[in-house]
């Protein structure tokens, strides 16, 4: 495993039990689970890519021992990111120079992107996620009814409550309905290390950026996010992560890494067939979280592909 890394694709099937990670919203006292519609018209359970990406970005911040590698906004996880910097100079700077400053000053802005509205300077994320979609025949849903009580009303006095107290307690109850879901979820993610530190106005790499350290930080964040599924309602519905298995695809030359969907049973076989016809494609199967960790650890010391525009 000595060749450079251009892109990395993670294709997996994860079994998450008894969770409520992502929901459509609440109507009245009923929380609706997230539903997605697949190409054949079948409906399935889903967890949004926005939630997965947010979790990865949080873990980029979490696993970094030195928070000074982030800008002031990202040090405190403010969503504005580079937009919180305000005016970068008294005189209007060229957009390329502003982008250089932001990329050099913040690993999280570099890896996960931003939009500076003052100058309309976008930075596309180097890390992307698709929907985590449950296999149509491999998910279950249930809705549970709960009642919320006022603690004071239930603990007032030592004897039997009076009729007025009973009425007050009954009025303090709030009945609500929450979903619990379990299933095998197809997950796709792509990471483009070749773009780390790359100013995509000049298409030159910013001087002084430790691209390798940021690359390793992103890999560690992948390990952290798959170790424990996070999202909505985890205070009472922390998911049981039963299993994860799949493949890591690595493109070593300037060619996009293929991402055949894990919704198909033959996705790994298809990926390995592509490997036979695509120079520079590596495929590493894994079973279990420990298997994924081993593959990501093997990739840590690889050199990064570097775009060259000549002199």
223 assigned to some structural domain: yes
Residue 255 belongs to some domain of the structure: yes
Number of folded domains that form the chain: 2
Q: Is there a single domain that holds both residue 66 and residue 169? A: no
Per-residue pLDDT for the chain (311 aa), expressed as one digit of tens each?
458 999 999 999 999 998 888 877 676 666 778 899 999 999 999 999 999 999 999 999 999 999 999 999 999 999 888 888 766 554 456 889 999 999 999 999 999 999 988 788 899 999 999 999 999 999 998 877 767 666 655 555 555 555 555 555 555 567 767 778 899 999 999 999 999 999 999 999 999 999 999 999 999 999 999 998 887 777 778 899 999 999 999 999 999 999 999 999 999 999 999 999 998 999 999 999 999 999 999 999 999 999 988 65
User: How far is the C-alpha of 25 from the C-alpha of 222, rounded, in Å?
Assistant: 27
Q: Indicate the residue among 162, 178, 194 that finishes a domain.
A: 178
Supply angle C-alpha 165, 168, 173, rounded to 5: 130
Domain boundary, last residue among 178, 197, 231 = 178
124 in the same domain as 165: no
Res 267: pLDDT:
98
- pLDDT confidence of residue 90: 45
- Domain assignment present for 98: yes
> Rounded to 5 degrees, what angle do the CA atoms 21, 22, 28 make?
115
Same domain, 63 and 208: yes
Is residue 264 one of the residues assigned to a domain?
yes
CA-wise closest residue to 143 among 176, 113, 114 = 176
- Do 93 and 192 belong to one domain? yes
- On whether both 154 and 238 belong to a single domain, the answer is no
Are residues 207 and 249 located together in one domain of the fold? yes
What pLDDT sits at residue 243?
A: 95
Write down the H helix ranges in the chain: 49-63, 72-75, 95-105, 107-112, 151-155, 163-172, 211-227, 267-276, 288-299
Is this prediction's pTM over 0.85? yes
| Residue 100: predicted pLDDT | 93
Question: Does 1 map to a domain?
Answer: no
Contacts of 89 (CB under 8 A, 6+ apart): none
The DSSP result for 177-243, as a single string, is EEEEEEEEEEEEEEE-GGGTTEETTTTEEPTT--HHHHHHHHHHHHHHHHHS---TTTTT---EEEE
165 is in which domain, residue-wise? 140-178
pLDDT tens digit sequence for 1-43: 458 999 999 999 999 998 888 877 676 666 778 899 999 999 9
Would 304 be classed as within a structural domain?
no
The confidence score (pLDDT) of residue 310 equals 67
Domain membership of residue 305 (yes or no) is no
Angle (CA) 206-212-218 rounded to 5° is 105
Q: Do 18 and 112 reside in the same domain of the chain?
A: yes
Q: What burial class does residue 176 get, using C-beta atoms within 10 Å of its C-beta: 0-12 exposed, 13-18 middle, 19+ buried?
A: middle
Query: Is 257 within the bounds of a domain?
Result: yes
């Amino acid at each position: 495993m000595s060749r450079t890394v251009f892109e990395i694709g993670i294709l997996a099937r994860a079994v998450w039990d008894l969770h409520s990670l992502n929901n459509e919203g609440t109507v009245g006292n009923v929380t609706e689970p997230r539903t997605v519609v697949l190409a054949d018209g079948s409906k399935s359970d889903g967890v949004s890519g926005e939630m997965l990406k947010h979790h990865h970005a949080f873990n980029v911040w979490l696993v970094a021992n030195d928070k000074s590698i982030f800008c002031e906004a990202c040090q405190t996880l403010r969503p504005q990111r580079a937009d919180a910097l305000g005016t970068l100079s008294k005189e209007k700077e060229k957009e390329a120079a502003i982008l250089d400053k932001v990329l050099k000053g913040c690993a999280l802005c570099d890896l996960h992107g931003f939009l500076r509205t003052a100058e309309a300077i976008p930075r596309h994320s180097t890390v992307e996620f698709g929907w985590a979609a449950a296999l149509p025949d491999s998910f279950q849903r249930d809705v549970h009814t709960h009642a919320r009580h006022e603690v004071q009303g239930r603990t007032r006095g030592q004897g039997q409550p009076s009729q007025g107290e009973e009425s007050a307690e009954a009025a303090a109850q709030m009945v609500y309905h929450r979903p619990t879901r379990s299933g095998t979820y197809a997950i796709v993610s792509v990471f483009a290390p070749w773009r780390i530190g790359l100013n995509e106005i000049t298409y030159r790499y910013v001087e002084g950026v430790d691209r390798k350290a940021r690359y390793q930080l992103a890999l560690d964040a992948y390990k952290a996010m798959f170790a424990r599924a996070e999202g909505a309602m985890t205070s009472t519905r922390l998911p049981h992560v039963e299993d994860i298995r799949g493949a890591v695809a690595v493109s070593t030359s300037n060619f996009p890494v293929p991402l055949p969907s894990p919704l198909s049973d033959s996705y790994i076989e298809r990926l390995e067939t592509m490997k036979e016809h695509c120079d520079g494609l590596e495929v590493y199967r894994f079973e279990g979280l420990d298997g994924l960790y081993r593959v990501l650890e093997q990739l840590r010391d690889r050199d990064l592909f570097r775009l060259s525009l000549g002199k």
